[in-house]
Amino acid sequence: MWSELTLEFHRIERPGDQSLKEVTFKPKDVVMVHVGSAAVMGIIKGFHDDKLDVILRKAVSAEEGSKAVITKQVSNRWRIVGYGILKGGNAVLE
């Protein structure tokens, strides 16, 4: 069970979609993280060198190395901006 996630972030590029190219992450941005069957709101703690740190509002159950989809509000719509591979974080239960 994880309450914080550290993800190796990979941006998803869509041809012809200019709105997603300008998406950046700043501390305190709100994102939705989809891990397995769970969809949990999270707050960005930091983003540096393709590492994305997210504080989750609810803990999720996942194994290290599993993938998570990151969505963010762009122009009042939730858009998939990328995915991340779980590298660590703050484990509530082991």
Domain containing 82 equals 2-88
The structure tokens listed for 22 are 């300008």
Q: For residue range 4-49, list pLDDT tens digits in order.
A: 999 999 988 877 776 666 778 899 999 999 999 999 999 999 999 8
* Euclidean distance between CA atoms 94 and 85, whole angstroms: 18
* pLDDT reading at 94 higher than 80: no
The CATH number of the domain holding residue 34 is: 2.40.30.10
Instruction: Tell me: pLDDT of 87 over 90.
Output: yes
CA-to-CA separations, 84 to 36, 61, 66, 69, 75, in angstroms, rounded = 12, 15, 8, 6, 23
- Pairing mode, if any, of strands 67-74 and 77-91? antiparallel
* Number of independent structural domains in the chain: 1
User: Is a pLDDT exceeding 90 seen at residue 72?
Assistant: yes
**94 within domain boundaries:** no
- Domain contains 78: yes
Domain membership of residue 29 (yes or no) is: yes
Please write the tens of the pLDDT for every residue from 40-63: 999 999 999 899 999 999 999 999
The answer as to whether 37 is a domain residue is yes
Stated pTM of the model: 0.87
The verdict on residue 93 lying in a domain is: no
